[in-house]
A and B are shown apart, each in its own frame.
Chain A
Amino acid sequence: MEAHFDNSAEAIKRLQLCLNDLVSILALPAVWCGGGPTQVVDTLLDTLRRMLRLDLVYVRLKGQAGGTPIEVTRTDPSQREMPAPHDVWKALKSQQEKHAQKWPALVREPLGAGKISILAVPLGLQGEIGVIAAGSQRADFPQETEKLLLSVAANQAAIGLQDAWLLNEQKHVSTELDSRVAQRTAELAAANEELQLQVALLQQIPVAAWTLDPDGTPDFVNQKWLDYTGQTLDYVQSGPESWMTAIHPDDRETVSRGLWEGIRSGQGFTMEARFFRVRDGTYRWHLNRAVALRDTEGRILRFVGTSTDIEDLKRAEQRLRESELTLRRMTETIPEMLWSAAPDGAIDYCNTRVLDYTGVPVEEIRAGGWIKLLHPGDAGHVIPVWRACVASGAPYRVEARIFHASDRAYRLCVTSALPLLDQQGRILGWHGTIVDLHDWKKAEEELRNTQAELAHMTRVLAMGELTASIAHEVNQPLAGIITNAGTCLRMLAANPPNIDGARETARRTIRDGNRASEVITRLRGLFSKKQAAAESVDLNEAAREVIALSMSSLQRNGVILRPELADGLPPVTGDRVQLQQVILNLVLNASEAMSEVDDRPRQLLIRTERDETDRVRLAVRDCGVGFEKQDADKLFKAFYTTKKSGIGIGLSLSRSIIENHRGRLWATPNDGPGATFLFSLPLTTQSPADAPAVGAARSS
């Protein structure tokens, strides 16, 4: 106690010092004002170390919001081997665990090295901010004043730090706010630009465009609309339906209904209406469409719409419809069976005539039912041909029996089709016809039969004309027979009988008898009605026989016949009797053509030759009345005749006979009087039946 008294002056001095230090510490917050936590910690530590002549000052701040703790240490630069902040904390911590929540805590020689003592005080009432520790090697450390100063400093620091943190927080919030404002401003600017772009777009698109408020009131219309209708924006905006004066009166009610329905339902609308075009005072069809623009919650912001002039399109459509209708009418009224098919060959159209003919509904035909309409015997060859044509694009044409509904019979039809190609040559489809050939085929057959009959009749007629010649031809040898027989008898009755003479006349009798028999044989051939035969015919031989038969007729008409039959004429193939009929016909015609010729010899030339194209030709040349060049073809028409008698089928028939022999019959007027009729026939070629079989030749 004495010692205390002795030192009272010194104690006063220490108190003064302490008070000074206290003032300094209390002044710290003024220094800190506006600074950050780092500044607070730095000044605090520096002030405390200097003021208390400490060897070590340590601060540990708990991390903000669970962040990493901050540790700062100040040491006396003259001291070596000062502990690291972390070691200080470790020592404090173990001390704290021993004496829980006991502040201030004093730790002596915590680090094992040196005689340092550490005094720790909490920052914040319970140390919630952190801890501050002071260390010194002095033996009297810590004195009471030092404890006091450290506690006050800790309180001041706690307040200062909280202020700094608050300030920091405020600054942070403010910065955040600023950046958000800046971001939003930029966003708004962008949005505005977008909006302007959209409006510009609506102005610039080449159709009338407009927007409506969610309640349907016009909000915006583009210039195109105004130009088209002659309305002004003010007028359009003057009432919900003002703009409708641009619509054709007949369409207004429909449009109004459609519009309000679309608005109410929020579905928008699509409708056609006629709009007035102010430029030429016409109403033109428009397609009007509107869609709803919605925000993210699905609320309707606007209706956006366009009105497109579709008048031209509509007219084109109309024309197309009309043209299609015309075409359809045509295909339905044409008295033919028509059909079409897709590129893959599937039937896609049949006109009514096909349906009537077959009695099958169009759906069934389309579904491939046409195959069932074919005669079972024909389907096998028709279907592959059709498939091949569909694959290759080749024209299709087949004859087949098709079911005919009205008499429930199959009739022969020819079905043909051509592909429709695009510019690249791809098949777009097929168009075809079905033609019923049944009657025609039958008629053709009948015609053939009739022609055969006619040929026979003509032969008979020609023979009728020849009757006199025939009689002459037969009578001639008969006359010889009778005369010779009479002479023979007379010779035998003579006295003495003329035996040699009688023998000679008897011999002549036999010869003439044979001659008569030959004539009869030839006639029988010409009169017989038989089917055309294909045999090798020597045209010279045939001509000679005709000449023999017609000679007397020619003589009777005073016709001088000059045969010029070529030597070594190759044979032709055909029906000998038919060819002879043609020759006879030409000869009789020639003879008749000269019947009124008196001023020149009635010369008739029959010539055979092999012509330059390797055919055999026979010409009959007369010097009769002839014909005009322009009539050259008429001559061969049936029932055309220049003769006083006759029905005019001889030449027509002759031509058909020659053409059946793959030959040609024609006529030319002569340079002089008369005409020449000629026919040419191909030479006989070795027929397949006579030719050696290919297979046999190969195997041998």
Chain B
Amino acid sequence: MKSTLAAVLCSGLCLAQNGERLFQGNCALCHGPRGDGGKGTNLAQPRLPRAPDDEALFRVIRQGIPGTEMPGTRHFSDDDIREVISFVRSLGQTTPPKVEGDAAHGAELYRGKGNCAACHTMGGRGGAMGPDLTEIGVRRSPGHIRTSIVDPEAWVPDNFLNYRWYSLIPDNFVQVRLVARGGQRLTGVRINEDPFSIQIRDAGDRVHSFWKTELAELHKDWGKSPMPSYRGVLTPGEIDDLVAYLVTLRGGS
């Protein structure tokens, strides 16, 4: 009986231990050593939007997420993945960090002074030049959200190895400046590009498509973000309030 009990206990604990080792070696670079996010999504929460159950999480870890920076792990065995899942689920049991600030005031800043909705979608409304923020409180940690507000270029997507294996749409918001042969000048974010054409979205949410033969100049501003820094635009207290609001955005109702 004792040995059976030990085996049962170990099967849970030991799995998590090996899972943690694998997580630290392979996942922590983007998801953070405690899994609370960084460049990658915040995993320290009970519900993962892309992985409602363990089977879905298995698939995400095995195959990655096409069109994003999340790579697959063809070098993991099935057991490795199950052990990582066990560790990731344990992260969701931790208490989320407290965030200072007045979320209600942050909501006003989002709509008013910050003018965030001009470029960001929330609940299906708003601009599309930047990422959708509907679930940003689930996808990113408070620290990451704060950094993105005061220093938007700190976390510009910059890792491209896995783009376009399967996906035709590089969802990386790279800023593009172009001059058409007719003299038209445009700045926007790239929606898509191929050897012969490019499609961009301008600040007014208008989509433009060009054959490359129609362009006199095409510049890509790697590492730049179309988003301005809000340091100096909002007071430190206001930034606290905005972060407090954004972490409440968790999708659903």
**A-B complex is real:** no
